[in-house]
Chains A and B, each alone.
Chain A
Amino acid sequence: MTPPVGGATEIAARVRAGELSAASVLDEALAAIEARDRELHCFNSLMGERARERATEIDRMVGAGQDPGSLAGVPVALKDNICTRAAPTTCSSRILEGWTPPYDATVVRRLAAAGALLVGKTNLDEFAMGSSTENSATGPTRNPWDTSRVPGGSSGGSAAAVAAGMVPVALGSDTGGSIRQPAALCGVVGVKPTYGVVSRYGLVAFASSLDQIGPFALTVADAAAVLEAIAGHDEMDSTSLERAAPRCSEVLDDGADGLRVGVVSDFLADASPDCASAVRSAAEVLAAAGAKVDDVALPELLHGLSAYYLIAPAEASSNLARYDGVRYGLRVDAPDVETMNARTRAAGFGAEVKRRVMLGTYVLSAGYYDAYYAQAQRVRTIVARAFARAYGHFDVLLAPTTPSVAFAFGAKTDDPLEMYLADLFTIPTNLAGHPAMSVPFALGEAGLPVGVQVLAPALGEREMFRAAAVVEAGAPPGVRGPVGTRSAR
């Protein structure tokens, strides 16, 4: 089928050359959203008017011989936990009802500076807590490959919007897999950069030591272009690394010759056959391209999940304390301030957020801290050491992104632990602060997309993109978006 809009690098090249107007690109994107979002619910809000002003400005610049930037005229969707002046930022939570930030996130400023058109804010699991986008106060997002199934999460809206061809690229945030897992389930590319490569200023915090913003795109090249636009040091984020954005676009044609690739064998046993075999096939593609491929046993990584579900809720319990009804968002009035706080939070947060806030509060409590939080930090160190051991021998690692293809609505909502397992293969990367990305590589059960995950050591983005480009080139046709909506069978 014909994508309503082309790829990001193609759009930008044509807009900069004056062959295509930014206004017409925007019109197409808004028309695609208009046509399909009623069914899919990718967006919480649109910023069409502001985007139109920007498109006009970009076309004027091109007409005047000026360069509007590397993403000139490229429509971009933003996960609705990234602050924008032009639209409310809800985190898909009732508790932020009516709040529009008075400032733009650093990534928003950088995208605008690169000439991108910010079209809207996408749906997510409330405060990015979830793996299906079912935990949203605005209702679930549907997977464009099969609307009876989830798009994954928590950045489900961004993943689905790219997969459905509404926008060529989008931003998400990845705390335990929230970019890579929905990317895999929606058949698009999703990148979680090294912690500190992209500024978190303006990203509503879930778990600060794990959160990282990254791109969704239809292609590896588009993902590289967006990453280059948003990455690089930001003095507003103390954890931002003092280095320029990694130049990943340069290495996309370098091939895999001599690249040392390790296949994380421990993960294959826990993945469904289609997801496991996709990894084996991708490994063969890399080997055929000259990579040295070998299995690597990293059993420690499987302990990452338990550590994550102590560390992330602990940080979340603190990060989400500020939603107390005093300053912004929802307030449920009460005779005294403590009751007001309690009633506001009871009414404003959904069940999963409450579960994690309570869990996090518990593990940080006096008398429990050492047994839970401190212990989880030790496991985090063990995970990082296991990676370090592997990267002594390999440039990148290959693993499944998810244990299975997209699952049906409601399949895991009654059992939080089952839902948490959806992030089993993505979480260790966040604990270590490393980069990883999911590349669509196969169609699995029920003809649904399967992603292969490429992992790299800290600041190993260039090697990661190099391998990803080879995997992408070796993938069979039809494994990635955009797709027309197929109704439930």
Chain B
Amino acid sequence: MSGSGTPAGAPARAGEAGVEGYEIVVGLEVHCELATATKLFCGCTNAFGAVSNTHVCPVCLGLPGSLPVLNRRAVELAIRIGRALHCEVRPSTFHRKNYFYPDMPKDYQISQYDEPINVDGYLELPGGLRVGIERAHIEEDTGKTTHVGGGGRIHDADYSLVDYNRAGVPLVEIVSRPDVRGAEQARAYVSELRAVLVASGASDGRMEEGSLRVDANVSVRPLGSDVLGTRCEVKNLNSLRSLGRAIEHEAARQVALVESGGRVVQETRHWNEAEGRTSSMRSKEEANDYRYFSEPDLVPLVPDADLVERATAGMPLMPAARRKRVAALVGDALGGEAGASDQVATVVDLGLDDLVVAAVGLGADPSLALRRAANEAAQRPEEARRLDATAFADLLGLEVTGKLSSTQAKTVLAELLEHGGEPEEIARRLGYEALSSDELAGVVDDVIAAHPAEWERFLGGESKVAQLLTGQVMKATKGRANGRTVAEALDARRG
């Protein structure tokens, strides 16, 4: 079950500025707000964007005497996340994490500490790399503070406003192992994780609304070393772009430090998007002693088989499994065809894999179905997701049998996406009568006559010239000819 160990991915590319000769090692902590109707420990509405301090009650305001009661739905969604990430779902307990901050109503956060609900899983990225998941635990969100005046940070603000609507919103924190190498993989990891969280129904995945928040633990080490360097935790990464830039910057900073004979100090660093740099927030010595202890107001959370089954009922296939399904379908036809895994990732990413699978089930050519879905249908994903699989399969059939040229097929597909209908009927309306073999033979003969030099080279075995001749036939027939049929006609005339 574990995804730990040396990842299959290549070391960070030397293309990342200023880190030549070094490997960038990244571990990611992703906070995911769960898409529950109510908060983790009370009945207040869990919604983004309401008027400040309107979704609050004695419990989420931490008023004296109030007590938490665990939200069953939040537990179910946490279990869905655990299962989607191939974790062991296990009996767990809650702890208090104690520190003072104005947006934390109780001045402690109820979280899970040494007994989290989900442990030891992995996330498989589109390239096949498995990133280990150490844990995915339940905790409550804090309120949101806005510092007014000064530099927008608490220490130089004129005053601060606190909105407790977010206080007590359920979170799952997903902690990866340090299996990610470099900025590009980190983005791929978060992007894939986001897809998994959305697919499992646990989250709306909106980074811009703070539904997903990412911290990156970054360290560097000389290529070939298997010892982890000292890490820095980078916070305030509000988009995939920030994540990538921050990791590149932070890695370059650390390499420069090491190269100049310095030493990386373990600390928490703040990413400043405008300045494009990280700066120190607090050192390890300044870090809070959270004084964790078992939360006496809650009882242990022991998910029995029933709960796990109910929680995961109706869970759809996760992206990695969907990629495997499509890849298996086209695998034989494709072999190791270049670009195929990108096309598979694209159709899964856009939710067009069901269309491909259904069309193939109806007899469509797998590789053509994948190509048309990933390249043409993908241009209009929303319409494509609504496309009737039978119509799609029929269209692919017309192309394979040569009744439509590929150019014609693409035009019919575009029409199909925009207005729907029957592919044959659309083709007829567009005047895409297939060329009769007599007509095609005439055109081929004309083209050969008009290009004697090229024809000689073709006969001499220069296969590249075939494309030129085919192109001329297509031009003469205004795209009505089928490329493969033309190639066959040319070959036939070679004798």
> Are the C-beta atoms of B64 and A336 separated by less than 8 Å?
no
Segment from A113-121, A235-243, A288-296 that makes contact with B = A235-243
Q: Chain A CB within 10 Å — which of B58, B70, B293 has the most?
A: B293
What per-residue 1/0 map shows which CB atoms of B90-123 lie under 8 Å from chain A?
0000001010101001111000000000000000
The answer on a CB contact under 8 Å between A238 and B69 is yes
**A238 and B298: CB pair below 8 A?**
yes
Q: Is the CB of B70 within 8 A of A105?
A: no
B293 / chain A contacts, CB cutoff of 8 Å: 314-315, 318, 364, 369, 373
Chain B residues near A201 (CB-CB < 8 A): 65-67
Interface membership of B296, Cβ < 8 A:
yes
B419 is an interface residue with CB less than 8 A from chain A: no
Contact with A along B377-419 (1 / 0, CB 8 A): 0000000000000000000000000000000000000000000
Any A CB within 8 A of the CB of B464: no
Stretch from B1-9, B28-36, B154-162, B325-333 at the A interface? B154-162
| Given A96-B64, A208-B297, A373-B293, A327 contacting B105 (CB threshold 8 A) | yes
Give the distance in Å from the alpha carbon of A76 to the alpha carbon of B308 in the complex: 47
- Does B68 lie at the interface of the complex (its beta carbon under 8 Å from any beta carbon of A)? yes
Q: How distant is the Cα of A236 from the Cα of B68 in the complex, in angstroms?
A: 7
Q: Is A337 an interface residue (CB 8 A)?
A: yes
A413 within 8 A of B: no
Residue of B nearest to A366 (CB): B289
Nearest-CB residue, chain A, relative to B70: A238
A window 176-214: CB within 8 A of B: 200-205, 207-209
Question: B297 touches which one: A238, A322, A328 (CB < 8 A)?
Answer: A238
B52: shortest Cβ distance to chain A, in Å? Answer: 14
Residues of A within 8 A of B292 (CB): 364
- Contact A337 B64, CB 8 Å, known A101-B58, A208-B297, A314-B293: no
Contact of A337 among B160, B289, B297 (CB under 8 A): B160
**Residue B243 interfacial (CB < 8 Å):** no
Contact present for B291 and A361 (CB under 8 Å): yes
Chain A hits for B183, CB < 8 A: none
User: Which of chain A's residues have a CB closer than 8 A to the CB of B160?
Assistant: 337
Is A83 part of the contact surface with B, judged by Cβ < 8 Å?
Answer: yes
Task: Assess whether B65 is in contact with A322, with CB atoms less than 8 Å apart.
Answer: no
Contact A238 B299 (CB under 8 A): yes
> Is A472 at the interface (CB under 8 A from chain B)?
no
Question: What are the residues of chain B within 8 A of A430 when measuring CB–CB?
Answer: none
CA A201 – CA B100 in complex, angstroms?
A: 24
Q: Measured between C-beta atoms, what is the minimum distance from B98 to chain A in Å?
A: 5
CB of A338 within 8 A of chain B? Answer: yes
Residues of B within 8 A of A364 (CB): 98, 291-293
Specify which chain A residues have a CB less than 8 angstroms from the CB of B96 in the assembled complex: 318
Interface membership of A365, Cβ < 8 A: yes
Q: Does B64 lie within 8 Å of A326, measured CB to CB?
A: no
Inter-chain CA distance A307–B137, complex, in Å, is 31
The minimal Cβ–Cβ distance linking B160 to chain A, given in whole angstroms, is: 7
Contact between A338 and B100 (Cβ–Cβ < 8 Å)? yes
B residues contacting the other copy or chain, number (CB 8 A): 31
Fill in one digit per residue for A84-97: 1 if any B CB lies within 8 Å of its CB, else 0: 00000101000010
Interface string of B405-446 (1 = CB under 8 A from A): 000000000000000000000000000000000000000000
The residue in chain B whose Cβ has the minimal distance to the Cβ of A237 is: B67
With A and B bound together, what is the CA distance between A183 and B177 in angstroms? 57
A191 to B160, CA, bound (A): 47
Distance between A154 CB and nearest chain B CB, rounded to angstroms: 16
Residues of B within 8 A of A361 (CB): 291
A318 near B69: Cβ-Cβ < 8 Å: no
Is A488 in contact with chain B by the CB < 8 A criterion?
no
The reply to whether the CB of A417 lies closer than 8 angstroms to some CB of chain B is no
* Pick from A238, A324, A336: contact of B155, CB under 8 Å: A336
Q: Which of A101, A326, A327, A336 is in CB contact (< 8 Å) with B65? A: A101
How many whole Å from A44's CB to the nearest CB in chain B? 15
Query: Is B62 an interface residue when CB atoms closer than 8 A count as contact?
Result: yes
| Interface assignment of A477: CB less than 8 Å from any CB of chain B | no
Is residue A102 contacting chain B, with contact meaning CB distance below 8 A? yes
User: Which of B61, B62, B66, B69 has the largest number of chain A CB atoms within 10 A?
Assistant: B66
Interface residues as binary, A149-169 with B (CB distance below 8 Å gives 1, 0 otherwise): 000000000000000000000
Q: Which residues on the A side are within 8 Å of B102 (C-beta)?
A: 324, 326, 337
Q: How far is the CA of A209 from the CA of B106 in the complex (A)?
A: 17
A327-B61 contact in complex given A318-B98, A337-B154, C-beta closer than 8 Å: yes
Q: Give the docked Cα–Cα distance between A272 and B238 (Å).
A: 67
> In whole angstroms, what is the CA distance A325 to B495 when docked?
95
Let me know if B258 is at the binding interface, CB within 8 A: no
CB contact under 8 A between A315 and B155, given known A237-B67, A361-B291:
no
| Contact of B65 with A203 in the complex, beta carbons under 8 Å | yes
Q: Indicate if A249 sits at the interface (CB-CB under 8 A).
A: no
The reply on A1 being an interface residue by CB < 8 A is: no
The answer to whether the Cβ of B63 comes within 8 Å of any Cβ in the partner chain is yes
A300 to chain B: closest CB distance in Å?
Answer: 22
CB-CB under 8 A from A365, the residues of chain B are: 289, 291
A318 touches B100 (CB 8 A): no
Question: A371 in the interface, Cβ–Cβ < 8 Å?
Answer: no
| Contact of A236 with B100 in the complex, beta carbons under 8 Å | no
Q: What chain B residues lie within 8 Å of A324 (beta carbons)?
A: 100, 102, 107
| Best-buried of A105, A324, A341, A361 by chain B (most CB within 10 Å) | A324
Taking each of A103, A105, A361, which has the highest tally of chain B beta carbons within 10 Å of its own beta carbon? A103
Contacts A238-B299, A337-B154, A337-B160 given; does A105 touch B291 at CB 8 Å: no
Q: With CB as the reference atom, state the residue of chain A lying closest to B291.
A: A364
Say whether A322 contacts B64, CB under 8 Å. yes
From 70 to 87 in chain B, residues with beta carbon under 8 angstroms from any chain A beta carbon are: 70
A321 within 8 A of B: yes
Asked whether, in the complex, the Cβ of A321 is within 8 Å of the Cβ of B106, the reply is yes
Cβ of B148 to closest chain A Cβ, rounded Å: 13
Do the beta carbons of B100 and A341 come within 8 Å of each other?
yes
Contacts of B297 in A (CB 8 A): 205, 208, 238-239
Among B105, B155, B289, B296, contact of A322 (Cβ-Cβ < 8 Å):
B105
Complex Cα spacing A202 to B297, Å: 13
A83 touches B65 (CB 8 A): yes
- CB of A66 to closest CB in B, whole Å: 31
Contacts of A203 in B (CB 8 A): 65
Q: Is the CB of A236 within 8 A of B67?
A: yes
How many angstroms between the C-alpha atoms of A341 and B292 in the bound complex? 21
In this complex, which of B58, B65, B106, B299 has the most chain A Cβ atoms within 10 angstroms of its Cβ? B65
A369 CB contacts on chain B under 8 angstroms: 291, 293
Give the residue of A102, A207, A237, A315 whose beta carbon is less than 8 angstroms from that of B63: A102
Q: Which B residues are CB-close (under 8 A) to A200?
A: 67
Determine if A318 and B67 form an interchain contact, defined as CB atoms under 8 angstroms apart.
no
Please report the C-alpha to C-alpha distance between residue A235 and residue B69 in the assembled complex, in whole angstroms.
Answer: 8
Asked whether A105 and B289 contact (CB < 8 A) given A209-B296, A322-B106, A337-B154, the answer is no
Cα–Cα distance between A324 and B64 once the two chains are bound (Å): 12
Q: How far is the CB of B411 from chain A (nearest CB, A)?
A: 63
Measured CB to CB, the closest approach of chain A to B303, in angstroms, equals 16
With A103-B58, A237-B69 known, 15 other A-B pairs at CB within 8 A are A82-B65, A101-B64, A102-B58, A103-B66, A205-B65, A207-B296, A238-B69, A238-B70, A318-B98, A318-B108, A321-B100, A322-B64, A322-B106, A337-B160, A365-B289
A-B CB proximity, top 7 nearest: A321-B107, A209-B296, A364-B291, A208-B296, A204-B64, A83-B65, A202-B65
Interface residues of B (CB under 8 A from A): 58, 61-70, 96, 98, 100, 102, 105-108, 154-155, 160, 162, 289, 291-293, 296-299
Name 5 A/B residue pairs within 8 A (Cβ), A-sorted.
A236-B69, A238-B70, A321-B107, A322-B105, A364-B98
